[in-house]
Amino acid sequence: MPSHAPIEAFPTWAHFNGVQFMGVKLQDVGHGKGFGLLAESDVQGSAVKMVGEETRTILRIPRDLVLSAEAVQEYAKVDQNFKQLLEIAGRKSTRGDILLFLVAHLAQGRQSGGLTPSPWTEYIRFLPRSIPVPTMWSDVERQLLNGTSLEAALKAKRATLQTEFEGLSVMTQPLPFWDALLWGREEMCIEDWALVDAWYRSRCLELPRSGAAMVPGLDMVNHSSQPSSFYEEEDSTDDVVLLVRPGTSVSKGNEVTISYGDAKPASEMLFSYGFIDPSTSASPMTLHVDPFPDDPLSVAKLHVFNGARVLKLVEEVDEEGVCGVRWYSPFVYLMCLNEEDGLSFQVLEEPCGDRQLGLLWQGEDVSEQIDDFETLIRDHELCQVFRLRAVALVLQMVQEQLASIRNGPSDDDLEPAQEAGLLRPSCIATAKLLREVEGQLLARAVEVLGREKDTLLADDHVVAYLGSMEHFPIGKSPQPASADGEDQNEADFS
């Protein structure tokens, strides 16, 4: 049996497994989007969704076909070999369990492996082997994303996939059945693990009751920022159904779409789904934040801070229609505070007797408020000084990121690699769009942060503080004199 089946054969599989298409069909929708759902006749949703009112159903998928955490556990009950795999390598996360299910069925499709047949034994043959997510790009193509917010995330993801794959190999090779199926004649490779991960990320949906799940048929419906349908789990049957949105109509021959998520950043859309919504004009952006290498409190700060060490940039429009950029990063505020400001650490004993490192601000335990230092500093007389430190740091990060994006390869630089067949035009176009979207946001952020920095430098409290440091370079803070009257080493202002 071939490991891959043409998508044109999917309707036959769907019919025999109870998937119902009602007034819609699966077809190539053109524009490079591949297959999608097209209306066979005019489809009209209700004017307004009322309680108890039926909304038109256009696709129904039986609950037994849904691949969820529960479905994986149920399959382990009927297949002892898979149960063995799950016990030794799984049951840590929904994603991990579903990936084990997928890689087992992928291997089964390449050779007769002895796994208990399921609808997914056949369905997995319809799933594409080439997925445009960056983790599936070549090494040369991934370099197109250098300088973008995806550069670090992509390197980390590939490293994680490699670690997971090596762990799977170590755990399963001692097991005769899995050693033969995964590492025998048709040996699995890292790209196979990257493939099942890409299937999961690009096709997984969040169902109201089942949680993260892959749903045959529904996973072929394309995204739109103005979707014409939505999905839910039916109360009476637990089937997954696709419904026409109230107040929406789809003309015959037009595509039926869903939303993959509201206002997802362009980087996340590319990372998870392999494309960027062409309607994207502004997009949030997330950058990784590294602690100061010379901060003596760095280790303690990293120990107590459990959140993501990131900087988030979001474009927003005020009441007067003026476009601005807002930034958010609790870790930046923690980075910019020092011991002389009133920040300290102390081992605290909890009521249960456990001891842990606590964070103190002005002598008070603020371990539970570590994400809200922007609020904690408001009543401090040097609040604007602290704010200036944070803004100056964020401005520097944004300027460096913008320079990195602008220093990316030009079209002329890419031409030789493209002519040699090393770069796909789709990857070039998508990476270019991400650079444009993120570059525009960063440029606006530089303007906004620059103005905010200038405003803070003119603040009376900041002027007075800097005046007290006239014998110190800008960016340095005075230290108390030592016992012999000499100044201690100067501390970094930021």
**CATH code, 444:** 3.90.1420
Per-residue pLDDT band at 3 (split at 50, 70, 90): low
CA distances 469 to 324, 333, 355, 383, Å, are: 33, 22, 40, 17
State yes or no: pLDDT of 1 exceeds 70: no
- Measured from the Cβ of residue 182, the count of other Cβ atoms closer than 10 Å reads 22
Domain assignment of residue 275, yes or no: no
pLDDT at 2: 56
The CATH code of the domain that includes 135 is 3.90.1410.10
pLDDT at 413: 87
pLDDT at 112: 72
* pLDDT digit string, tens, across residues 446-457: 999 999 999 999
Strands 35-39 and 24-28: antiparallel
Domain assignment of residue 493, yes or no: no
State yes or no: pLDDT of 40 exceeds 70: yes
Instruction: Tell me how many domains the chain contains.
Output: 2
Domain assignment of residue 429, yes or no: yes
pLDDT, mean of residues 112-120: 89
Domain assignment of residue 268, yes or no: no
**What are the two backbone dihedrals, phi and then psi, of residue 363, each rounded to the nearest 5 degrees?**
85, -5
Residues 393 and 430 in one domain: yes
pLDDT at 481: 39
Per-residue pLDDT band at 50 (split at 50, 70, 90): very low
Residues 233 and 172 in one domain: yes
Per-residue pLDDT band at 46 (split at 50, 70, 90): low
Q: Say how far apart CA 409 and CA 144 lie, in whole Å.
A: 8
Residues 250 and 320 in one domain: no
- Look at 283 and 35; give whichever has higher pLDDT: 35
pLDDT at 473: 43
pLDDT at 45: 75
The β-bridge partners of 285 are: 313
Domain assignment of residue 276, yes or no: no
Query: For residue 265, is it left (φ>0), alpha (ψ between -120 and 50) or beta?
Result: beta
Residues 345 and 473 in one domain: yes
367, burial (CB in 10 Å: exposed 0-12, middle 13-18, buried 19+): middle
Query: For residue 280, is it left (φ>0), alpha (ψ between -120 and 50) or beta?
Result: beta
Residues 193 and 300 in one domain: no
Asked if residue 85 lies in contact with residue 104, where contact means CB atoms within 8 angstroms, the answer is yes
Instruction: Write out 422-461 in H/E/C secondary structure.
Output: CCCHHHHHHHHHHHHHHHHHHHHHHHHHHHHHHHHHCCHH
pLDDT at 351: 76
pTM, entire model: 0.86
**What are the two backbone dihedrals, phi and then psi, of residue 250, each rounded to the nearest 5 degrees?**
-125, 120
- Look at 186 and 207; give whichever has higher pLDDT: 207
State yes or no: pLDDT of 268 exceeds 90: yes
- Measured from the Cβ of residue 451, the count of other Cβ atoms closer than 10 Å reads 11
pLDDT at 281: 61
Look-up of token digits 């340095």: 476
The β-bridge partners of 355 are: 349
Asked if residue 211 lies in contact with residue 197, where contact means CB atoms within 8 angstroms, the answer is no
Residues 54 and 172 in one domain: yes
End-to-end Cα distance, the chain: 64
Read off the tokens for 386. Answer: 């602290």
Which of 265-279, 359-373, 426-440, 464-478 is predicted with the least confidence, judged by mean pLDDT? 464-478
Domain assignment of residue 492, yes or no: no
Residues 227 and 295 in one domain: no
State yes or no: pLDDT of 49 exceeds 60: no
Asked if residue 442 lies in contact with residue 402, where contact means CB atoms within 8 angstroms, the answer is yes
Per-residue pLDDT band at 386 (split at 50, 70, 90): very high
pLDDT at 492: 41
Asked if residue 70 lies in contact with residue 84, where contact means CB atoms within 8 angstroms, the answer is no
Residues 257 and 289 in one domain: no
- Look at 260 and 351; give whichever has higher pLDDT: 260
pLDDT at 476: 43
Residues 259 and 168 in one domain: yes
Domain assignment of residue 482, yes or no: no
* pLDDT digit string, tens, across residues 82-109: 999 999 999 999 999 999 999 999 999 8
Q: Say how far apart CA 217 and CA 14 lie, in whole Å.
A: 8
Asked if residue 310 lies in contact with residue 329, where contact means CB atoms within 8 angstroms, the answer is yes
Per-residue pLDDT band at 305 (split at 50, 70, 90): very high
Per-residue pLDDT band at 410 (split at 50, 70, 90): confident
pLDDT at 491: 35
Residues 318 and 372 in one domain: yes
Residues 391 and 252 in one domain: no
Residues 62 and 165 in one domain: yes
Taking each helix axis from N to C end, the angle separating 176-183 and 94-110, rounded to the nearest 10 degrees, works out to: 70
pLDDT at 323: 78
pLDDT, mean of residues 243-265: 89
pLDDT, mean of residues 251-262: 90
**Which stretches within 17-118 are classed as H helix?**
69-78, 80-89, 94-110
Give the CA-trace dihedral at 123, 129, 135, 139, to 10 degrees: 170
pLDDT at 47: 54
State yes or no: pLDDT of 20 exceeds 90: yes
Tell me which residue range forms the domain holding 151.
Answer: 7-263
Per-residue pLDDT band at 159 (split at 50, 70, 90): very high
State yes or no: pLDDT of 114 exceeds 90: no
Domain assignment of residue 173, yes or no: yes
Q: Of 230, 263, 296, which one is at a domain's C-terminal end?
A: 263
* pLDDT digit string, tens, across residues 318-338: 777 777 899 999 999 999 999
State yes or no: pLDDT of 479 exceeds 90: no
Per-residue pLDDT band at 288 (split at 50, 70, 90): very high
Q: What is the mean pLDDT of the chain?
A: 90
445, burial (CB in 10 Å: exposed 0-12, middle 13-18, buried 19+): buried
Q: Quick one: what percent of the chain has pLDDT higher than 70?
A: 91
